[in-house]
Amino acid sequence: MPNTPDSPAVKHYLLGLQDRICHVLRETDGGADFIEDVWERPGGGGGRTRVMQQGAVFEQCGINFSHVFGERLPPSASAHRPELAGRRFEAMGVSLVSHPLNPYVPSSHLNVRFFIAEQDGAAPVWWFGGGFDLTPYYGFDEDAVHWHRNAQAACAPFGADLHPRFKQWCDEYFFIRHRQEARGIGGIFFDDFDQGGFAHSFALLQSVGDHYLPGYLPIVERRWATTWGDRERAFQTYRRGRYVEFNLVYDRGTLFGLQSGGRTESILVSMPPEVSWRYDYRPEPGSPEAELYARFLPPRDWLDEQTG
């Protein structure tokens, strides 16, 4: 039947996506390789974690595949679907966070995932979720326009309404409420997606996963050799603190992993390797650091403005 979920097909795609991204990022870095940990979860399932550290381009890059089972959906997964609380679940996904060494190269995040919630006597409830977003430390209009144009292309085959909706969802989701500022310049984000049946929804997930590298690599290649010094590094490590705050306080994937008894080292591989906090820091007016706050962090329609 067209709406019957095909977990093996999703798993096959996700494992292949992890392999492809690791290969390309390894070639891009040229100075380091991924180490791999294959792990099992006591409650059911497992995964493989791959981490690159101290590379020529990437200070740290972690990409996880996980496929886990459980008897009860954790609160983070059922918060928006309370009618599913208490059901058995199967969850699988690929998540990636890259933290480049050069402050002029943005950090990036990708997540694509699939859930099934089951209960005796009831039809399984399934959905897809994920997206990607970009966290620059120094903003460039050219990069922002390229990133959002690529995100629009990922959604285009599935309806003109999806990109505006997913962009707004991303802007709202990756907002650090206790700071009243965005984590970065956004991208696309979606959850609880089952529109058009399984094949249609799965095709959207694949499009999002497949568009990550075309969005990110041109930016990395433009910026990785830019000269930088202590000032830029200090600002980069300060802004990375916002990444930590968001992931530990708000991120649903991090919370799901911790609440479901996932592997802590794999869950927290998204954290940047070097971070700093400074009390009541305020960038110098008119500086490139101030421009990040004034021009790049407030949500905006980069494609409509055609700023590039």
The set of catalytic residues is 109
Q: Is 112 annotated as a binding residue?
A: yes
Residue with tokens 């490590």: 237
Q: Is 200 annotated as a binding residue?
A: no
Q: Is 223 annotated as a binding residue?
A: no
Task: List all residues 6 or more positions away from 66 whose beta carbon is below 8 Å from its beta carbon.
Answer: 45, 46, 47, 91, 92, 93, 95, 257, 262, 266
Q: Is 38 annotated as a binding residue?
A: no
Q: Is 99 annotated as a binding residue?
A: yes
Cα–Cα dist 79/148, whole Å: 29
Cα–Cα dist 155/298, whole Å: 23
Cα–Cα dist 227/13, whole Å: 38
Q: Is 178 annotated as a binding residue?
A: yes
Task: List all residues 6 or more positions away from 167 whose beta carbon is below 8 Å from its beta carbon.
Answer: 148, 151, 186, 187, 188
Helix (H) or strand (E) holding 74: none
Contact 108, 216 (CB under 8 A): yes
Q: Which of 31, 37, 35 is nearest to 54 (CA)?
A: 31
Q: Is 261 annotated as a binding residue?
A: yes
Strand-pairing partners, residue 97, are 62, 109
Cα–Cα dist 38/34, whole Å: 13
Measured N-to-C along each axis, helices 198-210 and 7-29 cross at an angle, to the nearest 10 degrees, of 10
Q: Is 211 annotated as a binding residue?
A: no
Q: Is 263 annotated as a binding residue?
A: yes
Residue with tokens 């530990």: 248
Mark the binding-site residues for substrate, compressed into ranges.
95, 111-113, 261-263
Mark the binding-site residues for a divalent metal cation, compressed into ranges.
99, 109, 148, 178
Mark the binding-site residues, compressed into ranges.
95, 99, 109, 111-113, 148, 178, 261-263
